[in-house]
A and B are shown apart, each in its own frame.
Chain A
């Protein structure tokens, strides 16, 4: 096991984050985001590093990690494709979009393509109901989708 440590740039960012709050614990979620950005997921080494850096118990940090959907508890693909499936999107064809993604990528929801490029996931309401159906790819929203547009988006990711 390699020991985890944040890169110097990100480490500087931690200092700035800490300056926003009256205590160190409050930086827990933002710092975990930074770690995930670097490491791709939150391993036990990351949990221990964050705990030590912020003066928290590893149990506390682990508890936080397991509470929130967006912290990856295991390694994931290079890109995350989230298909919103909640009612407003479902009324406008989210199920078709999801099945199309599964077919195109050759995987089921929750799985990662064999080359490790894409993990397909479903999301609960992403606050994009007026522009449904939609998917989120990493940090970007793609809205008012058709299956043809989904193809174009996925092709860029897997090529």
Chain B
């Protein structure tokens, strides 16, 4: 159900909304101060009750992640908090708005997060291209430090906290948490094998929690409201998917942008109520949460006769009317991802759309695992032949085979992130792909733009 909120976006559009005086006027840093005087366990319990599912795409409960940290911290093994702001998933542009327009929420979240996991240093890993975001974050850190909210004794409390911004250098894979940690350590951003998980051996080999930037920015709000009350904002509170979050919509809509709403918004509401409807005609498909989430067709209906299914309440309904939640979307065979949807209208050449994304994955595969490095390149090569009217039916079938061979055979989830959307396109638009091959490309519009 559509319920727009302004907990996270209150200062968006406010003059100088990114500065400390404005943040403090809205009660900023009160929660960090309060958190540092709370028992650590009570803080983590409060965060567990908030049911903040990781906003970076995996949807892992944040409070539970915090509780995985070894306790108590050993002096020879300092803990680290690492914030993932390597926003680069095609279609995703929400974290950038927080960094640019409300950086103090991030810094305050980092102070609370550090205390919650027993760390004294937080690194915010921002992709290098986001120069304004980095400047705003550094500005916020400087202001907070000058006020004595960071440093040796934040708010006069004996719990040192430092926050730093670290930059990447243009690699999508660094949004994968172990790759990000390697990059933070000054290495090539190649993913690590898990286990060990970051909570055991993360940044610099020390216990580390990696949280998405929007996740950590929601922490002060959740703490102010109380974990349970925050969770209950959501329609999916009973599925442990709580609070409010940022939604984005781009592509063929009349009003692309970032919107804040309670968890449980439907795609139809995102596209038509917030995004102003489909631009230039009917809907062909929607990629719900960043390009790694398999595409949904507007004529799909939910098939969940089993009362135990998280989708049962929506059995027989259109997929666009299912609340966007971690569990509901997993059950739909796609992913919630980052909640930033890409909308394609009927005039879109679906083969070109897949070609565009497979070019992206070929470019961004780090090359460490053979199935992904070779597979992503082959997917693109065959699609490129298809776009030029040169591919055969046999090659169309081979695309399935290549994608299947990537799945489950790589160190990190990038492999699935390439193969799953590829299979989504192929399965859901099989007729269009066959027609494209048969007509040597003449059946498509040959256009992505209107």
Contact = CB atoms under 8 A, between A and B. Distances in A.
Contacts of B207: none
A136 B249 CA distance: 21
Nearest to A91: B251
A25 B185 contact: yes
Interface in B69-128: 78, 87-93, 95-96, 127-128
B204 A30 contact: no
A136 B129 contact: yes
A92 B204 CA distance: 42
B248 interface: yes
Contacts of A54: 186
A141 B131 CA distance: 9
B249 A91 contact: no
Given A20-B164, A129-B250, A70 B128 contact: yes
Contact of A87 (B91, B189, B257): B91
A68, A88, A131: most-surrounded residue (chain B CB, <10 A): A88
A90 B449 contact: yes
Contact of B186 (A26, A95, A128): A26
A27 interface: yes
Interface string A22-40: 1101111110110000000
Contacts of A88: 90-91, 250-251, 342
Chain B residues touching A, range: 35 or more
Contact of A86 (B164, B168, B258, B356): B356
Interface stretch (B150-158, B192-200, B227-235, B357-365): B357-365
B166 interface: yes
Interface stretch (A105-113, A119-127, A148-156): A119-127
A69 to B, nearest CB: 4
Contacts of B353: 87, 91
Contact of B91 (A71, A96, A125, A139): A125
15 contacts: A21-B204, A25-B185, A29-B168, A30-B167, A70-B128, A87-B90, A87-B353, A87-B360, A124-B172, A124-B360, A127-B92, A127-B129, A129-B250, A129-B256, A130-B248
Interface of B: 78, 87-93, 95-96, 127-132, 162, 164, 166-172, 183-190, 204, 248-252, 256-258, 287, 291, 340, 342-344, 348, 353, 356-357, 360, 363-364, 366, 448-450
